[in-house]
Structure 1
């Protein structure tokens, strides 16, 4: 469908001062809560950083040197869950190296765009792997809004499991505290495509914008912050009629999935992403004051594991038994153009950005990305420290280059 007034904002402010170091999920999840600490089979651990002045936690105001240091060390700045590496690592064998000219071009782009790492997979084989900013293969790097596409994948898993009956279900079925708000009559699919019709301001230069007020609600309402903010929003269009990018709405998806499956996103991701995708390193996922995970942001992985996630999605989310973690055709729809930004191939799916030619990807501020070009069996994973949160000209360069890579022998 074509949606009017398609906004292109794609950034998230991380203002998480006051995050709790304890898991405070809803009562219905009490059994799952205890397993985090006591069941070795799950082995998801809560980690708490040293106590810091809240002013130090304003990520958007970190300088260049601070970002390069802290983006690889977020677990020492924010509370979160640590998910161990998969029991069986997905092999990424060496493929035919890209030509010397193309490799030189990638290395130049790494330098020009303040990129920390790039991995190119084709057919599941590594054709290029390179690093900058002192990053090494075993180091992790934060994701920012790339996490949205992980949350979307867990949404699909919850549908496949039957924990969520249908994408046509109303949001209030899973988050009843929103009853009587602008989310009445809004479906799960509509928040997945950010077409709820609920008003939201994602302007990071405006201290009064909704996204800038996230921390205010955290401080004032603690575990209830997500619902308390979102239920106060007004409706500006009928559900399904207007796209507007809303980080707060992806946080709702995370809450919805956690309520439906009875465990945190981190726990659920261990079974549905980390193990079947075969991550080589552990995953850190920030918690909010509930002790649940932040659906719209803030997991950390090795570069190779971002690439493994891309390959996992490209190959349909298959598990070792040959069945998919998501319903049949999920990624074609999730990575398909559910929202059309004007007939040029750019649009939005289920928390994935869509590009010309049926391609799609995950994007996060400061230059994090997983780009998929399915017809070429190509996955390009990238982590960065761009000079500004958006630096859109850098993103355009890398997307054009991904298309170039898809034509290389």
Structure 2
């Protein structure tokens, strides 16, 4: 018994020593404490909203339920040139929620894997378009110009390099030129790369000051880099002087009639929202932002114009060509000439097709490495939007 006790005691000492060392390391590099970091690294996408601190985005004070239209049931889809059942598509892409909105009414709604109408689900880079909406509002109010440089708003980040030349317009169109890549990690070994540091950090100002190295001259090369969107988030907070969650709530979330509170993960409570990702909401409320864009910036609730006409044009115009040869501009994708797409890692989509008055929301738990699923899924959503509904 004495030998067993000594063995257990020594094991405890070793584990405690390792934990203390890891705690010290994570504190120095501004990561969550070790156990929280490991949980975040290993969690499926749909669990991550609850593993980081967050600010709450208040919903509408009055309830405005979606209208329910004539039901439509997709039966088959083309997936990478193969006809498969719609249910197989949902399973293959690890779908948690799928909604079709036609003419402002829900015509299809399905939840899987224990999720429901009220489930808080992550957006990942769908949040980039939310960030763009706030930038557009500041520009329309004359509080910001696209020609402004990042450091003219936040001079504390001046680097004495061509980083100081980065303009708001460069950041909007993924042309900032910073060296912090979006090379997403595959397993714990990759958690030292820039995108993982920005995702997990407990101090975004510290991260930003240590990631100002440039890869190209600002405005000369388009390359999808999430740090550009995070810089826009820092600008919004500086100009508004308030939490982005509060600013977004009163400017967009409540006015579109959001039924549920959303959250935006932050580096720490009362700190900075992670605007390149980490917006979390119910599927029906993501659809309300899609419907806002479909309505050319007018809210379906009372018709208030929430997006300036000039910014709507900016949102719907491709400025650069990025991955998959898709158009991109002002933090939103243009995979087809007749469609706009808010898209995030792990299979998050808000697809908008004005010509058919259609919004489609798909929220998923796909792995980080998912091949060319984004292209295949966008094609499926495009086909569904254009198809005559199969009504039942």
TM-score (norm 2): 0.80
Q: Structure 1 residues 140, 214: CA separation in 2 closer, same or farther (over 3 Å shift)?
A: closer
The answer to whether the 8 A contact 2:131-2:275 is kept is yes
Match of 2:265 among 271, 274, 286: 286
Could you tell me which residue of structure 2 aligns to residue 318 of structure 1?
A: 298
Could you tell me which residue of structure 1 aligns to residue 72 of structure 2?
A: 98
Q: State the SS of the aligned residue for 1:82.
A: strand
The answer to whether the 8 A contact 2:123-2:279 is kept is yes
The answer to whether the 8 A contact 2:100-2:106 is kept is yes
Match of 1:177 among 153, 156, 160: 156
Deviation at 1:99, TM superposition (A): 4.4
Match of 1:209 among 193, 198, 201: 193
The answer to whether the 8 A contact 2:222-2:321 is kept is no
Match of 2:248 among 227, 251, 269: 269
Identify the range of structure 1 (273-282 vs 197-206) with the bigger mean alpha-carbon deviation.
197-206
Could you tell me which residue of structure 1 aligns to residue 356 of structure 2?
A: 376
Could you tell me which residue of structure 2 aligns to residue 133 of structure 1?
A: 113
Deviations 1:111-159 (CA, angstroms, capped at 9, x unpaired): 2211101001111111110111111111111111111111111111111
Q: Whole-Å Cα distance in 1 between the matches of residues 156 and 194 of structure 2?
A: 19
Within the alignment, does 1:158 sit opposite 2:142 as a pair? no
Q: What is the CA RMSD across the aligned residues, in angstroms?
A: 2.8
Deviation at 1:398, TM superposition (A): 2.2
Deviations 1:279-329 (CA, angstroms, capped at 9, x unpaired): 110011111246121111111101111111111121123255644233213
Q: Structure 1 residues 111, 162: CA separation in 2 closer, same or farther (over 3 Å shift)?
A: same
Deviation at 1:357, TM superposition (A): 1.7
Q: Whole-Å Cα distance in 2 between the matches of residues 155 and 83 of structure 1?
A: 17
The answer to whether the 8 A contact 1:159-1:327 is kept is no
Deviation at 1:197, TM superposition (A): 2.4
Could you tell me which residue of structure 2 aligns to residue 26 of structure 1?
A: none
Q: Whole-Å Cα distance in 2 between the matches of residues 223 and 282 of structure 1?
A: 24
Match of 1:305 among 285, 292, 297: 285
The answer to whether the 8 A contact 2:46-2:121 is kept is no
| Structure 1: 5+ residue stretches without partners | 1-16, 20-51
Deviation at 1:389, TM superposition (A): 1.3
Q: Whole-Å Cα distance in 1 between the matches of residues 224 and 39 of structure 2?
A: 20
Could you tell me which residue of structure 1 aligns to residue 100 of structure 2?
A: 120
Within the alignment, does 1:334 sit opposite 2:315 as a pair? yes
The number of residue pairs the alignment matches comes to 348
Match of 2:226 among 231, 247, 257: 247
TM-score (norm 1): 0.77
Deviation at 1:345, TM superposition (A): 6.2
The answer to whether the 8 A contact 1:68-1:133 is kept is no
Q: State the SS of the aligned residue for 1:61.
A: helix
Structure with bigger gyration radius: 2
Q: Whole-Å Cα distance in 2 between the matches of residues 197 and 394 of structure 1?
A: 27
| Structure 2: 5+ residue stretches without partners | 1-25, 78-83
Q: Whole-Å Cα distance in 2 between the matches of residues 82 and 212 of structure 1?
A: 23
Q: Structure 1 residues 270, 369: CA separation in 2 closer, same or farther (over 3 Å shift)?
A: same
Identify the range of structure 1 (363-372 vs 90-99) with the bigger mean alpha-carbon deviation.
90-99
Q: Structure 1 residues 405, 69: CA separation in 2 closer, same or farther (over 3 Å shift)?
A: closer
